Amino acid sequence: MACGAGLSYVTRFAPSPTGLLHLGHAFSALTGFARAQAAGGRFLLRIEDLDRARCRPEWEAAILADLRWLGLHWPEPVMRQSDRGAAYGAALDRLAALGVLYPCSCTRGDIRAALSAPQEGAGQGPDGPVYPGTCRGRSMAAARPGDALRLDLGRAVALTGPVGFAETGPLHPGRHRVDPADLVDRLGDVVLARRDGVVAYHLAVVVDDAAQRVSEVTRGADLFEFTGLQRILQVLLDLPEPAYHHHDLIRDAAGKRLAKRDDARSLASLRDQGATPADIRRMVGL
């Protein structure tokens, strides 16, 4: 049963146009579409095209063709993150005003060197090495062109107080409390705006979900561990709390998660081999 049934129910599928969709994408899109239909709600499509170096118009066209071939439909116009710079800038300004944002000039080499020092340790998080906080004492007034902007996560969790989220997925159903100390240890001070000025996924996704009035976020289980961070950002930015539905991942015969570079399992390749939408549904267990 989808959370928030009725016209208030909204979920979305948000691919990046950096390659062809594969069976894992099909499973996520079909899951979200089915939950929206069961709730009598809305299924939205959002194009997450912030990585201008890798995103291509031909990949976006292929995404739209694949989803329509699967029988999915959505309201137009489609939201594109490349059009959302003003909204992301406003969110960064609010976080800066709250005192939880700071500029960081560290390169990857700087971070590796700092983490190799005995007193720092080498914490490893789901996004890679946990940032050791080298630039944490810098103020936004000291920001220079080319700096990244990081979230002072320790200060952020102190401001928000107790935070939780509702999970409707099959792996971790129920209400979850975000453990502030665990979040800081696992993720550290994450980047919210890169050195090239492009806003990071964690900020963009919460701003966009709120703008689209998403009531339930449908996505893969690999993103479950970032939900606490995104809930912290929602509270700081005074954004509504959606429910979350993290579904299983589709893996290959060796148990490895499918990737866009595996063209043999792309929807376009399978379609060219004669597969039908019904075949795709069976292949992903639907």
pLDDT 10s digits, 226-250: 999 999 999 999 999 999 999 999 8
pLDDT exceeds 70 at position 263: no
Tally of domains within the chain: 2
Q: Are residues 72 and 110 in the same domain?
A: no
One domain, residues 37 and 139? no
Q: 10-13 and 42-47 as β-strands: parallel, antiparallel, unpaired?
A: parallel
Nearest CA-CA partner of 71 in 215, 271, 236, 239 = 271
Q: Confirm if 148 and 103 have CB atoms less than 8 A apart.
A: yes
Residue 129 has pLDDT above 80, yes or no: yes
Q: Do residues 125 and 9 share a domain?
A: no
Q: Is the pTM of this model over 0.85?
A: yes
Tens digits of residue pLDDT in 101-111: 999 999 888 88
State which residues form the domain around 36.
Answer: 1-82+253-286
In terms of domains, do 137 and 233 share one? yes
Whether residues 90 and 78 share a domain: the answer is: no
Write the CB contacts of 158 (distance below 8 Å, at least 6 apart in sequence).
Answer: 180
Q: Are residues 219 and 97 part of one domain?
A: yes
- For tokens 């990585």, the residue is 51
Phi, psi of 210 (to 5 degrees): -70, -40
Shared domain for 198 and 135, answered yes or no, is yes
122 vs 83 pLDDT, higher one = 83
Q: Are 131 and 105 in contact (CB under 8 A)?
A: no
Yes or no: say if 220 and 14 are a contact pair by the CB < 8 Å rule.
no
